[in-house]
Amino acid sequence: MTEPFERVVARHGPTVLRVCRSVLRGADAEDAWSETFLAALRAYPELPADANVEAWLVTIARRKAIDVVRRDARHAVPVAELPDRPVPDGARDLDLWRSLGDLPPKQRHAVAYHHLAGLPYDEVAALLGGTAAAARRAAADGIATLRRTYPIEEES
Amino acid sequence: MTELAALHERLVRSAADEGLLDVAYRTVDSPVGPLLLARTPAGLVRVAFAVQDHDAALQELSDEVSPRVLEAPRALDDVASELDEYFAGRREAFDVPLDLRLARGFRRSVVEHLPSIAYGRTASYAQVAALTGSPRAVRAVGTACALNPLPVVVPCHRVVRSDGSPGRYAGGDDAKLALLALERRA
């Protein structure tokens, strides 16, 4: 028994918007949200009944956010020197996204599922395999690496 | 409008453009309580009274038609305005296309014959059984009326007992009386 897609949008729409906003700004985040749910709607009839819908949506959202970032990057103007003033908000998120993308897959997924999607560690573990403690360690290692590699100071 | 509401509206538009809006629905207020209206690209597929449980009706649509179900009020504007006219006594028959896929077999045959009972008139379950060419299927006609996927629009409320008493109705006995009274008055 698959529930009407409207319920999926109502229940998970805010979380997916949070995920999109955490890596993209303004209209880009909205584009990623829209593309995520349109892709999800297309694939929804084939989704296994026991699938973790939120994790599935977060996975699609991640892919769509990457698409949006790539699309924007193609339109970016190359500059000879890096500016010495603070990097604007949009670019800062791009950096975070790249730093996140450089993490080993398990750490990246643990960070995205726990810190971006808000899944508790036992659900993260169910998605990644292994124990909740291992998921917690992977996320912590990922965050530690981000603290070193993410070029701009953290958002307060 | 909240941001999520605006995003939802955008999703409905894109879904329709891409041919992914398999079931669009909305609810409308009416003199017989809130009505759930749902349509497919083929036509109006479901009308449900509040006593029939709108959530259950949406789940049935998801199971029987497609889980690509979205709340899309504008997709049902034409149905809503025809219903407004009907309840105001200014409309006797509905022009919107109908999708009868939720009524199969004999039930489908009954549903297809119901519109031949004129506005403001009634027919007995036995008369409807005769209309469908199965005069002995009186009880099955009762079941088909009770399970009519498009009550109000397909007038199962015009089917009454042979003694003239209204009989049962999926929307509740009061709703049936109200619809019959509306049509007598108009």
Q: Which of B87, B113, B148 delimits the end of a domain?
A: B87
What is the residue range of A117's domain?
88-156
Candidates A5, A14, A30; nearest CB to B70: A5
Identify the weakest region by mean pLDDT among A55-64, A71-80, B57-66, B172-181: A71-80
Q: Does residue B97 lie in a domain region? A: no
Task: For chain A, report the end-to-end CA distance as a whole number of angstroms.
Answer: 43
Position A91 scores a pLDDT of 45
Active-site residue flag, B145: no
Task: Please indicate, yes or no, whether residues B11 and B83 belong to a single structural domain of this protein.
Answer: yes
CA-based nearest distance B63→chain A, Å: 7
Return the residue of B nearest to A17 by Cα.
B4
- The tens digit of pLDDT for each residue in B43-75 reads 999 999 999 999 999 999 999 999 999 999 999
Q: Does B23 touch chain A (CB under 8 A)?
A: yes
3-state secondary structure chain B: CCHHHHHHHHHHHHHHHCCCCCEEEEEECCCCCCEEEEEECCEEEEEEEHHHCHHHHHHHHHHHCCCCEEECHHHHHHHHHHHHHHHCCCCCCCCCCECCCCCCHHHHHHHHHHHHCCCCCCEEHHHHHHHCCCCCCHHHHHHHHHCCCCCCCCCHHHEECCCCCCCCCCCCHHHHHHHHHHHHHC
Q: Does residue A82 lie in a domain region? A: no
Position A65 scores a pLDDT of 82
Which structure tokens are listed for A50?
A: 């026991």
Q: Which of B87, B115, B146 delimits the end of a domain?
A: B87
Q: What are the chain B neighbours of A13 within 8 Å (beta carbons)? A: 4, 7-8
pLDDT value at A34 more than 50: yes
Q: Which residue has the higher pLDDT, A84 or B71?
A: B71
Position A95 scores a pLDDT of 62
Q: Does residue B38 lie in a domain region? A: yes
Percent with pLDDT over 70 in chain A: 78
Number of domains in chain B: 2
Identify the weakest region by mean pLDDT among A86-95, B87-96, B140-149: A86-95
Percent with pLDDT over 90 in chain B: 94
| Interchain contact, A4 vs B67, CB within 8 Å | yes
Q: Does residue B16 lie in a domain region? A: yes
| Interchain contact, A30 vs B3, CB within 8 Å | yes
Name residues 138-167 of chain B within 8 A of A (Cβ): none
pLDDT band at A98 (very low <50, low <70, confident <90, very high): low
Name residues 44-83 of chain B within 8 A of A (Cβ): 58-59, 61-63, 66-71
- The tens digit of pLDDT for each residue in B74-114 reads 999 999 999 999 999 999 999 999 999 999 999 999 999 99
Q: Work out the mean pLDDT of chain B and round it to a whole number.
A: 96
| Interchain contact, B4 vs A13, CB within 8 Å | yes
Domain containing residue B142: CATH number: 1.10.10.10
Task: Please indicate, yes or no, whether residues B71 and B132 belong to a single structural domain of this protein.
Answer: no
What is the residue range of B66's domain?
3-87
Q: Does residue B60 lie in a domain region? A: yes
Task: Please indicate, yes or no, whether residues B40 and B78 belong to a single structural domain of this protein.
Answer: yes
Task: Please indicate, yes or no, whether residues A69 and A101 belong to a single structural domain of this protein.
Answer: no
Q: Does residue B67 lie in a domain region? A: yes
Q: Which of B87, B113, B137 delimits the end of a domain?
A: B87
Return the residue of B nearest to A15 by Cα.
B4
Task: Please indicate, yes or no, whether residues B73 and B26 belong to a single structural domain of this protein.
Answer: yes
Task: Please indicate, yes or no, whether residues A40 and A96 belong to a single structural domain of this protein.
Answer: no
Task: Please indicate, yes or no, whether residues B80 and B149 belong to a single structural domain of this protein.
Answer: no
Q: Work out the mean pLDDT of chain A and round it to a whole number.
A: 79
Q: Which residue has the higher pLDDT, A149 or B69?
A: B69
CA-based nearest distance B75→chain A, Å: 15
Domain containing residue A102: CATH number: 1.10.10.10
| Interchain contact, B70 vs A3, CB within 8 Å | no
Mutate one of B23, B54, B60, B69 to test the A interface: name it (highest A CB count within 10 A): B69
Position A74 scores a pLDDT of 64
CA-based nearest distance B20→chain A, Å: 7
pLDDT value at A151 more than 70: no
Q: Does B101 touch chain A (CB under 8 A)?
A: no
| Interchain contact, A37 vs B66, CB within 8 Å | no
